[in-house]
Amino acid sequence: MSHTIAELETPIPVVDLDRLARNLDRAAAYATTHGLALRPHIKTHKSPRIAAEQLKRGAVGVTCATPFEAELMSEVCSDVLVAYPPVGSARASRLAALPSATKLTVALDSLRAIDDIAAAARTADRPIGVYVELDLGMHRVGTPTLDEAIALARAVRERPPLEFAGIAFYPGHVRESVDQQQTKLDALDTSLRAAIDAFDAAGLHPAVVSGGSTPTLWHTHELSGVTEFRPGTYVYNDRTTAAIGACAWEDCAFTVLATVVSTAVPGQAVVDAGTKALGREPMRGTDSADGFGSLLDRPDVVVKSMSEEHGILDLSSTSWRPAVGDKVRIVPNHVCIVVHLNDVIAGLRGDVVETSWPVAARGRGYDL
Ligand SMILES: Cc1ncc(COP(=O)(O)O)c(C=O)c1O
């Protein structure tokens, strides 16, 4: 039975299906145009159904962070990258227990991770590909020097059934406006050239150079040697992505539908989406924007503060005055966290709820 957005209980995440399809198509076309392998990070949607849409459009495989994500994705995808250090025997053996038909690759930056995943691969008697992770500026994970990276690649080679499959980096430090990224992109390009040359000189040609993010998505082809890219946020986009110009406001496919529950205090309206619906994510990479989300139809109206179940809309710079019971759609600052706060997402065609899907890979999926 189809129903309309007006009938939905709130707060609830809703996705505009036409915008979602457009976002998926645009990145797939970019990959084709530039001969790049698209391996989307599914941490944004955590849904096998959306992963299947990405694969249908030519994605070579998916990227995951957690074992649970990898398990659920292996139901729809035969080529899974876990771009997260496979440290600890519990994590490593859970990854090695993925279906044997699934091609599994991990990214890592330590000998300990190599030993853990090598032991799990031997026990499971399966090959596992390894990307050696480089720190090219984010300073989160990745070896700081090429000598260390090359030593890790050699250690991988010495531990079959592990296979050295390439190098990886994540440009998470490039978060400024798209038109102000050039200096950092140039530095990345220089670092990548040096890395590929050093690996080649060591006789360890990296068959795959894996990088990419949503803020840098449309510049990926300008980065030397990159063969595959892993954007995640681009499926839904969010207020941050729009603010830095990596998408248009009209490309924000994901909103939280909320109801105005109080206008008693002058100058504000209270909606039923607080931190438990919107998260408490700051805007990253932008100086000007504040608040925790803004209205899809009125981007100048922001959620200025929150309690767990209350979001306070700032009406001080608008003449718009909503009534109690009105519905609003809020574009969150950082969509990935908001998706993970929810069990189910409603898919909209216009104002009609056409479908829904679970956020299947949320949580850890521990079997205790
Ligand atoms: C290792 C890695 N690759 C790719 C991505 C995707 O980045 P984005 O969400 O900016 O597209 C992330 C995001 O956290 C990541 O951690």
Tokens for 160, please give them.
Answer: 């079959």
Ligand 1 residue neighbourhood (C-beta within 6 Å):
41, 44, 63, 83, 170, 213-215, 230-234
Query: Are residue 207 and residue 252 in the same domain, yes or no?
Result: no
Query: Are residue 119 and residue 67 in the same domain, yes or no?
Result: yes
CA distance 226 to 32: 14
| Residue ID of nearest Cα to ligand 1 atom 15 | 170
Query: Are residue 268 and residue 132 in the same domain, yes or no?
Result: no
CA distance 85 to 90: 13
Question: Coil, helix or strand for 168?
Answer: strand
Write out pLDDT tens, residues 44-62. 999 999 999 999 999 999 9
Tokens for 140, please give them.
Answer: 């989160």
Query: Are residue 231 and residue 308 in the same domain, yes or no?
Result: no
CA distance 127 to 258: 48
CA distance 275 to 199: 46
Q: Is residue 232 part of a domain?
A: yes
CATH number at residue 297: 2.40.37.20
Q: Is residue 365 part of a domain?
A: no
Residue 327 CA to ligand 1 center (angstroms) comes to: 32
Query: Are residue 218 and residue 323 in the same domain, yes or no?
Result: no
CA distance 195 to 167: 9
Write out pLDDT tens, residues 139-183. 999 999 999 999 999 999 999 999 999 999 999 999 999 999 999
Residue 241, H or E segment: helix 239-243
pLDDT recorded at residue 230: 98
Domain that holds residue 285: 3-11+240-358
Query: Are residue 214 and residue 327 in the same domain, yes or no?
Result: no
CA distance 98 to 104: 8
Q: Count of domains in the chain? A: 2
pLDDT recorded at residue 284: 78
Write out pLDDT tens, residues 84-114. 999 999 999 999 999 999 999 999 999 999 9
Band of pLDDT at residue 289, cut at 50, 70 and 90: low
pTM score over 0.85: yes
Which residues contact residue 6 at a Cβ distance below 8 angstroms, ignoring those fewer than 6 apart? 327, 351
pLDDT recorded at residue 2: 60
Query: Are residue 79 and residue 125 in the same domain, yes or no?
Result: yes
Question: Coil, helix or strand for 299?
Answer: coil
Of 213, 236, 259, the last residue of a domain is 236
Instruction: Report the percent of the chain where pLDDT is more than 90.
Output: 96
CATH number at residue 104: 3.20.20.10
Q: Is residue 366 part of a domain?
A: no
Tokens for 304, please give them.
Answer: 């200025």
107-126 average pLDDT score: 98
- Closest approach atom of ligand 1 to CA 214: 11
Q: Is residue 368 part of a domain?
A: no
